[in-house]
Amino acid sequence: MGDPGREEYKIQSFDAETQHLLKTALKDPGAVDLEKVANVIVDHSLHDCVFSKEAGRMCYAIIQAESKHAGQSVFRRGLLNRLQQEYQAREQLRARSLQGWVCYVTFICNVFDYLRVNNMPMMALVNPVYDCLFRLAQPDSLSKEEEVDCLVLQLHRVGEQLEKMNRQRMDELFVLIRDGFLLPSGLSSLAQLLLLEIIEFRAAGWKTTPAAHKALVVKSLQQLM
């Protein structure tokens, strides 16, 4: 994890100038404006949900490179400041662009998954990540398959880590999810299936169950149709 060579395939979706900026940040971080690099990565993540799913690994690689070459944390500070700005404006983002909102949640969860302090998840991200997931579990969000899908995918990715950091909030989150599942007004059949799957996934100790497998199969089939 964090090998710059593994990050270059993700850079191909950028224009030539930005590709050069990111490649330099990975190999010689002291030679570029790392706050600008952080903004470039966040901006791209808000518009490209495929990139947002893996951008955390690129961020981790740049942080490691900066620490090794310069012993500083300019990029991490810039990244966290920008994430905080977008977090504070999350309702406006959701109202403006549902896709942008889903991309943001995907990105902040991905960053939470990769970034570590003393081999522990960053405490500064725990509550913002929880708040985003709570927003996805509100009734108006559960009526939209894109948000249900995002909620379930992120809980698969970081749910177990989040629970270790704050079990009470995870319990509260799953009360909302169960309420949404039991009162399925406006829920699609796929959304109900996904909510049932994540409820069983957590109940099984964050392990895959037959219901989880069925939900993934059904989802895959629907995406092919």
Q: Which CATH architecture has domain 123-224?
A: Alpha Horseshoe (1.25)
Q: What is the pLDDT of residue 70?
A: 75
Tokens at 174, concatenated: 């799953």
Provide, rounded to the nearest whole percent, the portion of the chain with pLDDT above 90. Answer: 75
Q: What is the pLDDT of residue 4?
A: 47
Q: How confident is the model at residue 158 (pLDDT cuts 50, 70, 90)?
A: very high
- CATH class of this structure's domain 10-117: mainly alpha
- Is 185's pLDDT higher than 90? no
Q: Where in the chain is the domain with CATH 1.25.40.180?
A: 10-117, 123-224
**Tens-place pLDDT, residues 70-99:** 788 899 999 999 999 999 999 999 999 999
- The number of residues making up the chain comes to 225
**Tens-place pLDDT, residues 99-140:** 999 999 999 999 999 998 878 889 999 999 999 999 999 999
Q: How confident is the model at residue 186 (pLDDT cuts 50, 70, 90)?
A: confident
Structure-model confidence comparison of residues 69 and 66, the more confident one: 66
